[in-house]
Structure 1
Amino acid sequence: MNTIITIGRQYGSAGREIGYKVADKLGIKLYDREMLDRAAKESGLAEELFETHDEKPSSSFLYSLVMDTYSLGYSTAYSDMPINYKIFLAQYETIKKIASEGPCVLVGRCADYALEEFDNVLSVFIHADMDAKVKRISRLYDLTEGKAREQIHKTDKKRASYYNYYTNKKWGNAETYDACLDSSIFGIDGTADAILKLVETKESLKEVIL
């Protein structure tokens, strides 16, 4: 098995949990926030900057210049860029390095875009019915349904803006991904199983082609 799985996800769709189940069943590593830690170490940019800019829309140029003073020890290759571009490029390069090391699951951070030239990638987008997402977020974070709904709209708007800004694709659109799955229909285990089946199919087709 040499397939790399990228997972885009709506907030509250259980995308990360599903990713962990897939990674566990395949015996491979999942990278979520670990991507940020590694990108910070390899680029020399401060970890706090990656936290601040994580899957958020592009900062204003002025804000980037102000934040630039906090990017300690970064590579000279990034020195003439606004901080948001430095952060994105550092993550972009790290994602490619991780993918070149072998099969894994990568959650969010435009991983499907970074790896669009890799032929062993399965890109999946996980979405869910709003009511199901509201119930999940309310339960996980002890929020009222109104607050949960507000949090979902806010987070997904940020993720969409971030993805659409840095890629030539549209976040959440079916044509952007190899597969889109509704976790509120298939359930967490069912969605994970569906991804495993897609990986199996992709692997078998590759063998036939070879």
Structure 2
Amino acid sequence: MDNLFLKYMRERTGRKKSPGPSFESPGPVITISREYGCPGRRIARKLSETLTEKNKSFGNNRTWRWISKEIIEESARELKLSPSLMQDLSEYKERGFFENLALFFSDEYYPSDVKIKNTIAKFIYNASVEGSVVIVGRAAEAITKNFANSLHVKLQAPLDWRAKIVADSQGMNIQEAKREAIEMDHRRSLFRNYFEKERPDIDFFDLFFNCSTLSDEEIIESIVILAESRGFVV
């Protein structure tokens, strides 16, 4: 049986479908932020595939794409850093003494924290202007919040549920996985707060989903319904 909420949303948005975005408007862009252990990349991939198929059904061959690791790869290329170092610096990951010593004698350098964040933000902004893109993480919701043609999603779940996912995927015990989830959430919040200035999530996100109680399909279908109602699929 179809989810009653989804049925209601279909009926509601079918009556009040908004016009498509104008040519001059940047986007459309959908951002996905997630607590550690929630399936952000998997949702983004399936969502972009679904939106592409929706476009085709309307005779529009424009493809939706999704980006995640590309943000770090392209930003690292611009700053002339290795992607692994760029990842560590952007997530405030601590390095051991010998790793830092090796970097000191290498050709790599540590750009300023502001330069790293602004380089990442520039890539996200430019990708969003091109439109038809789903962006995972990296404070994309704050960087594109003022885009008229944007939709911002956050995936959440209880810590115990996320810890089990992390433990199963990384071969940890539950306590180790909980510590990993808490630490990763903290490091991600440090990055986001540069752009969000510690403002509450409700200032940036349109939709919140509990991944422990909703399937991927339910989450994706809900997002697609709103994307259609906003004219992102034409």
Structure 1: where are the runs of 5+ without partners?
58-62, 73-81
Which of 188, 196, 205 lines up with 1:177 in the alignment?
205
Which aligned pairs between 1:114-125 and structure 2 lie closer than 5 A? 114-125=143-154
1:196 is matched with which residue? 224
1:96, 1:115 within 8 Å by CA — same for their partners in 2? yes
Per-residue CA deviation, residues 93-130 of structure 1 (Å, 9 max, x unaligned), is 11111112221111111111111231111111110122
* Aligned length, in residue pairs: 187
Post-superposition offset of 1:132: 1.7
Structure 1 residues 140-181: Cα deviation after superposition (integer angstroms, max 9, x where no partner): 11211111111111110111122113323546x233211111
1:91 to 117, 120, 123: 120
- 1:130-149 aligned within 5 A: 130-149=159-178
Q: Which residue of 1 aligns with 2:142?
A: 113
- Residue 200 of structure 1 aligns with an amino acid whose one-letter code is E
1:36 aligns with 2:72: yes
Which secondary structure does the structure 2 equivalent of 1:125 belong to? Answer: strand
Q: Distance in 1 between matches of 2:203 and 2:81?
A: 35
Equivalent residues of 2:90, 2:117 under 8 A apart:
no
d(CA) in 1 for partners of 2:189, 2:132:
26
**CA 1:39–1:167 in structure 2 vs 1: closer, same or farther (change >3 Å)?**
same
Contact 2:41 2:136 in 1 (8 A): yes
Q: Tell me whether 84-93 or 129-138 shows the greater mean CA deviation.
A: 129-138
Distance 1:176 1:115, change over 3 A: closer
Q: Give distance in 1, aligned partners of 2:199 and 2:172.
A: 30
With over 3 angstroms needed to count, the CA separation of the structure-2 counterparts of 1:176 and 1:116, relative to structure 1, is closer
Preserved CA contact (<8 Å) 1:9 1:126: yes
Contact preservation (8 Å) 2:153, 2:208: yes
Which has the larger share of helix? Answer: 1
TM-score relative to the length of structure 2: 0.71
Shift of 1:187: 1.9
- 5+ residue gaps, structure 2, are 1-19, 21-26, 53-63, 94-99
Question: 1:3 corresponds to which letter in structure 2?
Answer: P
Amino acid at match of 1:70: E
Return the index of the structure with the highest Cα Rg. Answer: 2
